Structure 1
Amino acid sequence: MKILHTADWHLGKRLDRFSRLEEQVSVMNKIVEIADEQKVDIVIVAGDLFDNFNPSVDAVELFYKTLKRLSNNGKRPIIAIAGNHDSPNLIDAPDPLARECGIILIGHPHAKVQEFELENFKILNSQEGFLELKLNQFEYPIRVIHTAYANEVRLKQYFGEEKEKALNDTLAAHWKSIADEFCDENGVNILTTHLYMNKRGALLLEEPEGEKPIKIGNADMVYSDAIPNQIQYTALGHLHGFRNIGTEEKPVVYSSSPLCYSFSEAGQTKYVSVIDAKPNDKVSFEKIELKAGRQLVRKSFDNVDETVAWLTHNPNTLVELSIESDSYLKAADRKRIFQSHDGIIYLIPKVKNFENQKTDIVEIDITKDLEPLFVDYFKSKNANQEPNEDLVDLFKEIQKE
């Protein structure tokens, strides 16, 4: 049985003011192509389907279209769970219609999916947090323990544990109870969840820059030793870099986001994971690179001409640009830079040796008009440098308000 594991789509996400929707369309197409080329039997999407609780119409449309294509007209079951960026109710809402296409949407961690049957597969058993599916082409079933994201308090409320009890122990007991009852050696056994999970004793894994943090202290830490022994592969979501925090025999995998979504991810290669699994045997998995979207780059220059030359020769990038110079950038230079490239997300000007520059104390004449007073004040705070035209124009706009 082949399983495709992907996560952290963040559909609708922007990079500052810059829309990523066109890139997301491209990378969703790539994921569908991989599923078809690899002849995948089932797809798991491990949370953060959208970037916020109220996604745009375009993001929602891309989500449904992608899942429908991945499902191959209902022949390939899809299991998609909510992450910390998703509204559980929004994810759950279309489930009755989605099931007609073989798509199982799970918004809450204690969800019990309604049993149904299609031409190519059926749900044999559904409990809170558990599914057992039988695909026609296999003699054995696949079991999926699923825990969509919820915060620590809600998770403990769902599972009926004492609030003082560590989240790790709560989930470990819950997962073990399900696995002991339903996950024997006669089927493929998978766990999928969207939580911050790490290997006990390992260095803390950095959450993505700009990501809503899950880990606050250690009370809500979940360790990989909470995973039941019966589980052959754990499909995680939340961290945006591909990594296996489990073992070769029993992988515990963050499959990565499909695109670089912050400059802390600049240079990362993105993947999906394709797993080969059969009952009572160790799985094998292959990480398949996703080649789509614009590359995120952090660049530093000390010369405007070199900056413009690099930008002109690297148009298919999104750039965080730092320019160090002897004085503040002139408005004409800023205009040249932005006209040379449409993907400059941040422009960070730096003045060389700013701290060491000495200026004479200038007495400010408070009888002047506001605009020259602003210029004098700016010069007094910035090593006698004149404010550029953009700043002066902004000051004039503020005056008008």
Structure 2
Amino acid sequence: MKILHTADWHLGKRLDRFSRLEEQVLVMNEIVEIANEQNVNLVLIAGDLFDNFNPSVEATELFYKTLKRLSLNGKRPVVAISGNHDSPNLIDAPDPLARECGIILIGHPKAEVSPFEVEGFKIKQSAPGFIEIQLKNQDFPVRILHTPYANEIRLKEYFGENKEEELSNVLAENWKTLADEFCDQKGVNLLTAHLYMNKKGGPLLEEPEGEKPIKIGNADLIYSDIIPPQIQYTALGHLHGFRNIGTAEKPVVYSSSPLCYSFSEAGQTKYLSIIEAQPNQNVLFEKIPLQNGKRLARKTFDNVDTALEWLAENKNSLVELTLESETFLTAEERKRIYQTHYGIVHLIPKVRNLESNENELRTVNLNQDIQSLFKDYFKSKNNGQEANEDLINLFNEIKNL
């Protein structure tokens, strides 16, 4: 069987004043097209479906329309869990209607999905944190352990009486119990979760810039070695770059977000994962690059003309532009920059000379004329940056009122 794994859609996301919804429409279409071209049998969406607890009407409409298309109106199961950006109650709310279309929405950890049947499959059995799906055209079932996001306190409340026990131990015990009871070698066994998980002995992975952090310190980290041995593939969400923190035989995969959502992701290629699985065999998986969405670029220039030349050649991008100079940009320079490129998210003037003597900056000769005093004051408050001509003219205009 074939499985499509995607995550971190963040529908409704904005980058400062720029909406990403048009790009999201295009990349959602692309995901549906890949699912159909690859003839996948199951879709897993590992959390952060929306970008906030109260998504817009447009984002909500795009979400449900995309899921309905992915499900082929009940012929293909779609399992979506909530992430740390999602409201679990909102994800659970439309569940009866979603099930009519073959869509399984899971908002809370340890949720129990009531058995149901549609055209292409049925929920054969379920338990808190577990479902077993029987596809109509398969002679073996698919078992899924599911853990939507909840903070540490809530996860311990869901999974354990001992609130002092480490979270990794709580999860390990819960997953082991489910796997031992339900995951034999006669079916395909999967885990999907929205967690900050690392590989034991490997470097700690960076959470995306602008992402609501899950990790707080290093005292209670979760490592991939707690995943039960019966699990053939683990579909994770939260980190926005594609990576396998498991092994080739037992992949533990962050599939990446479908678009670059912060400038720390500038230059990244985005992917989804296509998995080929059968009972009692190692899975094969392939990362499929996604083509849609604007490029994010972080650029630094030391003069305006060079910046304008680059901007003119890279119109279809969203840009964080840093300009190093001795003085503030003039109003005319700013106007030229913004007229050349309409996708500038941040324009950051940067002082080139930060090596001025601090004591010198703070020493003011009170015998100077008022304009010289203003220049010294401005310089002392701006790390040695000189006031430009526009500022001096404005100062003189105010002085003469």
Per-residue deviation, residues 320-379 of structure 1 (Å, max 9, x unmatched): 11111222110100110011001111111123214328667353999x9xx999888435
Bigger mean CA offset, 156-165 vs 249-258:
156-165
SS at match of 1:300: strand
Unmatched 5+ stretches in structure 2: none
Contact 1:129 1:146 in 2 (8 A): yes
SS at match of 1:155: helix
Alpha-carbon distance between aligned partners in 2 of 1:17 and 1:24, rounded to the nearest angstrom = 16
Aligned pairs for 1:204-353 (under 5 A) are 204-353=204-353
Alpha-carbon distance between aligned partners in 2 of 1:77 and 1:263, rounded to the nearest angstrom = 34
Alpha-carbon distance between aligned partners in 2 of 1:95 and 1:387, rounded to the nearest angstrom = 61
Per-residue deviation, residues 100-156 of structure 1 (Å, max 9, x unmatched): 100000000110011100111100001100000000110001000000001111111
SS at match of 2:193: strand
Aligned pairs for 1:28-43 (under 5 A) are 28-43=28-43
- The alpha-carbon distance between structure 1 residues 389 and 93, as it changes in their structure 2 partners (threshold 3 A), is farther
Per-residue deviation, residues 294-334 of structure 1 (Å, max 9, x unmatched): 11111111111111111011001111111112221101001
Give the aligned residue type for 1:386: A
Identical pairs, percent: 68
Give the aligned residue type for 1:37: E
Contact 1:48 1:82 in 2 (8 A): yes
Contact 1:274 1:288 in 2 (8 A): yes
SS at match of 2:153: helix
Contact 1:89 1:107 in 2 (8 A): yes
Aligned pairs for 1:170-209 (under 5 A) are 170-209=170-209
- The alpha-carbon distance between structure 1 residues 313 and 158, as it changes in their structure 2 partners (threshold 3 A), is same
Aligned pairs for 1:123-162 (under 5 A) are 123-162=123-162
Q: Which 4+ stretches in 1 moved above 4 angstroms? A: 357-360, 371-377, 387-393
Contact 2:327 2:385 in 1 (8 A): no
Alpha-carbon distance between aligned partners in 2 of 1:45 and 1:63, rounded to the nearest angstrom = 11
Aligned pairs for 1:66-81 (under 5 A) are 66-81=66-81
Alpha-carbon distance between aligned partners in 1 of 2:389 and 2:206, rounded to the nearest angstrom = 38
SS at match of 1:260: coil
Give the aligned residue type for 1:222: I
Contact 2:13 2:19 in 1 (8 A): yes
Shift of 1:89: 0.3
Per-residue deviation, residues 249-269 of structure 1 (Å, max 9, x unmatched): 110000001011111111111
- The alpha-carbon distance between structure 1 residues 34 and 390, as it changes in their structure 2 partners (threshold 3 A), is farther
Shift of 1:58: 1.1
Q: 2:108 is matched with which residue?
A: 108
Q: State how many pairs are aligned.
A: 391
Alpha-carbon distance between aligned partners in 2 of 1:384 and 1:216, rounded to the nearest angstrom = 38
- The alpha-carbon distance between structure 1 residues 227 and 392, as it changes in their structure 2 partners (threshold 3 A), is farther
Q: 2:11 is matched with which residue?
A: 11
Give the aligned residue type for 1:385: E
Alpha-carbon distance between aligned partners in 1 of 2:136 and 2:278, rounded to the nearest angstrom = 15
Contact 1:240 1:256 in 2 (8 A): yes
- The alpha-carbon distance between structure 1 residues 69 and 365, as it changes in their structure 2 partners (threshold 3 A), is farther
Q: 2:386 is matched with which residue?
A: 385
Aligned pairs for 1:38-53 (under 5 A) are 38-53=38-53
Is it true that 1:363 corresponds to 2:361 in the alignment?
Answer: no
- The alpha-carbon distance between structure 1 residues 162 and 325, as it changes in their structure 2 partners (threshold 3 A), is same
Alpha-carbon distance between aligned partners in 1 of 2:21 and 2:372, rounded to the nearest angstrom = 44
Contact 1:51 1:85 in 2 (8 A): yes
- The alpha-carbon distance between structure 1 residues 118 and 384, as it changes in their structure 2 partners (threshold 3 A), is closer
Give the aligned residue type for 2:364: I
Give the aligned residue type for 1:381: K
Shift of 1:201: 1.6
Contact 1:47 1:84 in 2 (8 A): yes
TM-score, normalized by length of structure 1? 0.92
Is it true that 1:89 corresponds to 2:89 in the alignment?
Answer: yes
- The alpha-carbon distance between structure 1 residues 332 and 154, as it changes in their structure 2 partners (threshold 3 A), is same
Q: 1:25 is matched with which residue?
A: 25
Q: 1:399 is matched with which residue?
A: none
Contact 1:200 1:225 in 2 (8 A): yes
Q: 1:57 is matched with which residue?
A: 57
Alpha-carbon distance between aligned partners in 1 of 2:59 and 2:365, rounded to the nearest angstrom = 55
Unmatched 5+ stretches in structure 1: 397-401
Alpha-carbon distance between aligned partners in 1 of 2:209 and 2:391, rounded to the nearest angstrom = 29
Alpha-carbon distance between aligned partners in 1 of 2:293 and 2:269, rounded to the nearest angstrom = 11
- The alpha-carbon distance between structure 1 residues 216 and 96, as it changes in their structure 2 partners (threshold 3 A), is same
Give the aligned residue type for 1:299: K
- The alpha-carbon distance between structure 1 residues 58 and 362, as it changes in their structure 2 partners (threshold 3 A), is farther
Contact 1:161 1:170 in 2 (8 A): no
Alpha-carbon distance between aligned partners in 1 of 2:278 and 2:391, rounded to the nearest angstrom = 63
Contact 1:15 1:262 in 2 (8 A): yes
Give the aligned residue type for 1:167: L
Per-residue deviation, residues 144-197 of structure 1 (Å, max 9, x unmatched): 000000111111111133111111111111001001111111100000000011
Shift of 1:42: 0.6
Shift of 1:218: 2.8
Alpha-carbon distance between aligned partners in 2 of 1:390 and 1:236, rounded to the nearest angstrom = 52
Per-residue deviation, residues 242-299 of structure 1 (Å, max 9, x unmatched): 0001111110000001011111111111100000000010100010000111111111
SS at match of 2:355: helix
